[in-house]
Amino acid sequence: MTDNRIRNIVIVGGGTAGWMAAATLSRILGPDYARITLIESDEIGIIGVGEATIPQMATFNRMLGIDENEFVRATKGSFKLGIQFVDWGRRGHSYFHPFGKYGVDMQGVSFHAYFLRLHQLGEAPDIDQWSLQAKAGQMDKFMRPVDAGRSPLSDIAYAFHFDAGLYARFLRGYAEARGVTRREGKVVDVTLRGEDGFVQSVTMEDGTTIEGDLFVDCSGFRGLIIEQALDAGFTDWSKYLPCDRAIAVPCESVPEWTPYTRSTAHKAGWQWRIPLQHRTGNGHVFCSEYMSDDEATAILLANLDGKPVADPRTVRFRTGHRNKFWVKNCVALGLAGGFIEPLESTAIWLIQSGLSRFLTMFPDKQFNQADIDRYNRIMATDYEEIRDFIVLHYHATERDDSPFWDYCRNMEIPERLAEKMRVFRSHGRCFRENEELFNDTSWFAVMHGQLMTPQGFDPVAEVMTLDETRARLAHIREAIANSAEYMPNHRDFIQENCAA
Ligand code: FAD
């Protein structure tokens, strides 16, 4: 019988995507299944941004068997309970998109329905009071969930901020300890097999060729194999998400390490703020059609917590994804596969989901086309669903103070999103469709936060009397306030458990 097993895996790229792939494959396949080689070039370097995550990152760490405190220490990281959006719905207004859920669903009816009923009576102005993550975030509090019965403290959802360079180094240590071989140097050529166009080998600058059965393209935006050699093509979404540049600059940190990412909307884009233990990461994402690099840099530098600790750096990008993420014997992950701007910190999750979906379809040397097609279809759906959620932030706004916001408010949007907005506008209902990443809480947080006003509330909320609704919501609000009060300060928690 022919041996069809993949014996030789070559990963090109040693950024977050490359090392996540190396760590995962070495962990899942074990030391004897296949040889794993990772090629990276110190001269080219990594993108070095990508420092905010979503709660699924904790699952990734658990899958690798990584100790969370060790990970936070090694990456000089901090914890994240959600994102604060400033000046998005209108200038001077802000809201919090928390992880986890608001309140509790009751009698089979979503919490949002009860909230909206009171909100529309003017009795519940602030949804944050029903989210422990939002409440604790605003008080700079953090702890991990504990076993506390029905208390909100049992159910704290969180993610991480970390230093991207340190994260790649951390995963490199992990992967090398599990047998992954790192090759330093530049890939200058890709050789395709004559008979079927599969990738046979890559050639390094020093002339060495490295052959493989399976190639994982993690080479960043350039898509060295997937695009330059295999012509996967690109689905361009810049009409929905017109921002195409970012200026990034770290600055000195401030004493309070806020347990959330902040996103502040500006004239032609937005600025991120990510607190780490040793510095604060900042960047201004903007649309070059409406703003020059100089103006974007000036706005960024005028809005930092402290002194910059490096020179501002420009990153250019295009929003969209490869028409095919997996072509023949090459699968692309990370920026090589596609890019959606970091407004909801989804890119690292897309690497994670790409890897886990790939492992469920792991090929043999025959590379069954049906498996490849399925993978490509599912990944495209992941990207589209996230795209729609990001577009919502730009489109559902009252901002009319610049041509950029006029464009975003009036632009054509994908029909799937348009339908979600119509459904929300009638009775404030939100749904998680199929397996989409963002759940109903996230959709509600952003639609409500962006100042969309439903005409009414879900009529089913009237299964409960108004008095009982008031009493139950008051009870939940109190439990959340008490829990937030009980939690330690975020910085203190880090100092005690995982200080770098
Ligand atoms: P890179 O980091 O670019 O790595 C590419 C690797 O390929 C490098 O090691 C390079 O040396 C190697 N390479 C390239 N060409 C060659 C060659 N010819 N020979 C040898 N090696 C080569 N994601 C989030 O989840 N959260 C965020 O907050 C977030 N913020 C972001 C902000 C911005 C402005 C941008 C642009 C992205 C952000 N992302 C974020 C996305 C995140 O940065 C990336 O998904 C993540 O870093 C993965 O990058 P990568 O490994 O695909 O690419």
pLDDT digits (tens, 9 = 90+) for 454-492: 999 999 999 999 999 999 999 999 999 999 999 999 999
Contact between 126 and 41 under an 8 Å Cβ cutoff? The reply is no
- pLDDT bin (cut points 50, 70, 90) of residue 255 is confident
Examine the pLDDT at 347 and tell me if it is beyond 80: yes
Q: Is the pTM of this model over 0.85?
A: yes
**Mean pLDDT on 233-247:** 98
The percentage of residues in the chain with a pLDDT greater than 90, rounded to a whole number, is 97
**Mean pLDDT on 68-77:** 97
pLDDT at site 3: 87
**pLDDT tens digits for range 116-140:** 999 999 999 899 999 999 999 999 9
**Mean pLDDT on 332-358:** 97
Contact between 134 and 158 under an 8 Å Cβ cutoff? The reply is no
**pLDDT tens digits for range 191-201:** 999 999 999 99
Distance from the CA of 181 to the center of ligand 1, in angstroms?
20
pLDDT at site 434: 87
Burial degree of 25 (CB within 10 A; 0-12, 13-18, 19+): buried
> Which atom of ligand 1 is closest in space to residue 333's alpha carbon?
52
The percentage of residues in the chain with a pLDDT greater than 70, rounded to a whole number, is 100
Distance from the CA of 304 to the center of ligand 1, in angstroms?
24
Pocket lining for ligand 1, CB < 6 angstroms: 12-18, 39-41, 44-47, 49-53, 164, 186-187, 218-220, 222, 224, 246, 248, 283, 315, 317, 334-336, 342, 345, 347-348
Q: How many Å is the maximal CA-CA distance in the chain? A: 78
CA dihedral 94, 96, 102, 103 (to 10 degrees): -70
Distance from the CA of 47 to the center of ligand 1, in angstroms?
4
Distance from the CA of 14 to the center of ligand 1, in angstroms?
9
pLDDT at site 477: 98
Please state, in angstroms and rounded to a whole number, the distance separating the CA atoms of residues 266 and 106: 39
Q: Please give the structure tokens belonging to residue 344.
A: 């909801």
Please state, in angstroms and rounded to a whole number, the distance separating the CA atoms of residues 434 and 384: 13
Ligand 1 pocket test, pick from 19, 38, 39, 40 with the greatest ligand atom count within 8 Å of Cβ, gives 40
Distance from the CA of 150 to the center of ligand 1, in angstroms?
41
CA nearest neighbour of 127 among 103, 93, 151: 103
Distance from the CA of 165 to the center of ligand 1, in angstroms?
10
**Mean pLDDT on 42-62:** 94
188 alpha carbon, distance to own chain's centre: 31
| Strand spans (E) along 25-180 | 35-40, 78-80, 82-86, 94-98, 159-161
- pLDDT bin (cut points 50, 70, 90) of residue 405 is very high
Sheet holding 269-275, edge to edge: 94-98, 82-86, 261-266, 269-275, 280-286, 245-251, 313-316
CA neighbours within 13 Å on the CB side: how many for 274? 27
CA neighbours within 13 Å on the CB side: how many for 108? 3
Examine the pLDDT at 165 and tell me if it is beyond 80: yes
**Mean pLDDT on 273-293:** 97
> Which atom of ligand 1 is closest in space to residue 19's alpha carbon?
51
- pLDDT bin (cut points 50, 70, 90) of residue 50 is confident
Average pLDDT taken over every residue of the chain: 97
DSSP state of 402: S
Ligand 1 pocket test, pick from 219, 284, 322 with the greatest ligand atom count within 8 Å of Cβ, gives 219
Please state, in angstroms and rounded to a whole number, the distance separating the CA atoms of residues 490 and 259: 6
Distance from the CA of 379 to the center of ligand 1, in angstroms?
18
Examine the pLDDT at 376 and tell me if it is beyond 80: yes
- pLDDT bin (cut points 50, 70, 90) of residue 354 is very high
Burial degree of 222 (CB within 10 A; 0-12, 13-18, 19+): middle
**Mean pLDDT on 44-58:** 94
Please state, in angstroms and rounded to a whole number, the distance separating the CA atoms of residues 190 and 151: 56
CA nearest neighbour of 162 among 9, 298, 278: 278
Ligand 1 pocket test, pick from 16, 217, 227 with the greatest ligand atom count within 8 Å of Cβ, gives 16
Contact between 20 and 352 under an 8 Å Cβ cutoff? The reply is yes
Question: What backbone phi and psi angles, to 5 degrees, belong to 188?
Answer: -115, -10
Minimum CA distance residue for ligand 1 atom 27? 50
- pLDDT bin (cut points 50, 70, 90) of residue 499 is very high
Please state, in angstroms and rounded to a whole number, the distance separating the CA atoms of residues 476 and 135: 13
Domains of the chain by start residue, with CATH = 8-51+163-235+319-367 (3.50.50.60), 99-156+389-486 (no CATH), 250-316 (no CATH)
Q: Please give the structure tokens belonging to residue 205.
A: 């600058």
Other C-beta atoms lying within 10 Å of the C-beta of residue 58: 18
Question: What backbone phi and psi angles, to 5 degrees, belong to 49?
Answer: -110, -175
Examine the pLDDT at 2 and tell me if it is beyond 90: no
Distance from the CA of 417 to the center of ligand 1, in angstroms?
28
Active-site residues: which are they? 80
Q: Please give the structure tokens belonging to residue 28.
A: 């899942």
Ligand 1 pocket test, pick from 19, 47, 316 with the greatest ligand atom count within 8 Å of Cβ, gives 47
Examine the pLDDT at 167 and tell me if it is beyond 90: yes
**pLDDT tens digits for range 310-340:** 999 999 999 999 999 999 999 999 999 999 9
**Mean pLDDT on 72-91:** 98
Please state, in angstroms and rounded to a whole number, the distance separating the CA atoms of residues 426 and 457: 8
